[in-house]
Amino acid sequence: MLYFYACIMALARLTISSVRNVRHADLSLSPGLNLLFGANGSGKSSVLEAVHFLSHGKSFRAGNPRQLISHGDKEFAVVAGLYSDDLHAGATHQIGVSLSGGSRNRRINGRNCTRQSEIAALFPVSILQPSAQILLESSPDLRRRFLDWGSFQLWGSDFLSTWKRFSMCLERRSVLLRSADTSMLKVWESELCRYGVALANARSSYLSRLMPYLLESAGILLAGSGTLMLHFDHGWSVDLDFQDALATSREKDRRLGYTSIGPHRCDFRLLVDDVPVRQYLSRGQLKLAVATLKIAQARLAQEVCGVGNVCLLVDDLFAELDLENRGIFLNYLQELGLQVLVTGTGAEQFDCLSSYADTAMFHVKHGAITPAENIQFKKR
């Protein structure tokens, strides 16, 4: 399925219409760093939100996508021109999404697109937010999403099909557990086991492949903090195979009315010297720990794809980073060659960059976005 990723691209041009307070914006972006600065509420995060919605089909801030529509308007649209593997050729492909009322329209190169996964495969986007540490502090559901997003980037529709079939079998078993007629229960357990094992193995394999990139990123962003490790929990006892675990749990699950074990309960832990990071690192370091995970994920996808890259969105992450760590973080992003959109409240927050090659800067004020080509950076 590697052809699935052969044309992953980066943003060359971005047009936003009626997304929150950004009524209209037309940006020419760098394939490297793109820095957006402006006061709180100016519209910086709305730009990132538009890019995120284009790839994921949902906002990272609002549950209802209609909340993204500018006040007084009836629809919004986000259209992007994408670089191919030849960055000097300019925008060679176009993707877009619009929402009007309850109707959503997606397009790739002028054709209608019914599945969000098609755009997500072509243009993968990852986000780092001020609340980034919740990935490591909150419920396992967020960490499963992290695993599934990364696994989808590696195995594409094969992984997506496995995930959907497992979910269908899981739902069917739960229905049968609550039913008086359980004659088909073992049949569906067999199917659940088949796809559950495949799903768990894919996630476990993904973490194994992620680990070298994680260690490299941690060596830069968390230097001196200890040795990082990833521990994977399949969602059932490692002393039993999944089929036996389901059989053992059957009566308990019938009382509960749902399946209490399986890949839908899987989790992973990030450890520093065998101690969970949330017990070991400061709040600022936890954000950097999540950054190492997201960067490692982007680099793994990038190297598997061969060309193009993941677009990384970094929304106001500097609040709890001192100047030294901010500089380390930004310069490391630039060295990696990822396309990154970073927000900050002032241009001075980016003075810690050692080079401004392949970097574009934009000033955001009251929803209006203008190139900031005349900004005078500090000499280093």
What are the structural domain ranges in the chain? 2-124+310-371, 137-272
Query: What does the pLDDT look like over 47-86, one tens digit per residue?
Result: 999 999 999 999 988 778 888 999 999 999 999 998 765 5
The β-bridge partners of 365 are: 368
Contacts of 244 (CB under 8 A, 6+ apart): none
Task: Give domain 137-272's CATH number out of 1.25.40.420, 1.10.3720.10, 1.20.1050.90, 1.10.357.10.
Answer: 1.20.1050.90
Q: What is the pTM of this model?
A: 0.87
Q: Are 96 and 75 in contact (CB under 8 A)?
A: no
The residue type found at 138 is: S
Query: What does the pLDDT look like over 112-122, one tens digit per residue?
Result: 998 998 898 88
Number of neighbours of residue 207 by Cβ within 10 angstroms? 17
Residue in 104, 111, 2 with CA at minimum distance from that of residue 58: 104
Q: Are 75 and 98 in contact (CB under 8 A)?
A: yes
Q: Is the pLDDT of residue 254 over 70?
A: yes
2-124+310-371 and 137-272 have identical folds: no
Q: Are 15 and 341 in contact (CB under 8 A)?
A: no
The β-bridge partners of 333 are: none
Pull the structure tokens for residue 43. Answer: 């519209």
Q: What is the distance between the alpha carbons of residues 161 and 115, in angstroms, rounded to a whole number?
A: 13
- Phi/psi for 219 (5° steps) reads -65, -25
Query: What does the pLDDT look like over 295-351, one tens digit per residue?
Result: 999 999 888 755 456 899 999 877 778 888 888 998 998 888 789 999 998 888 888
Residue in 77, 69, 88 with CA at minimum distance from that of residue 10: 88
Contacts of 65 (CB under 8 A, 6+ apart): 53, 58, 59, 99, 104
Query: What does the pLDDT look like over 199-245, one tens digit per residue?
Result: 999 999 999 999 999 999 999 999 988 889 999 999 999 899 999 99
Task: Give domain 2-124+310-371's CATH number out of 3.30.1310.10, 3.40.50.300, 3.30.1600.10, 3.90.1300.10.
Answer: 3.40.50.300
Q: Are 118 and 103 in contact (CB under 8 A)?
A: no
Query: What does the pLDDT look like over 148-183, one tens digit per residue?
Result: 999 998 888 899 999 999 999 999 999 999 999 989
pLDDT computed for residue 374 by the predictor? 58
Pull the structure tokens for residue 158. Answer: 């094969």
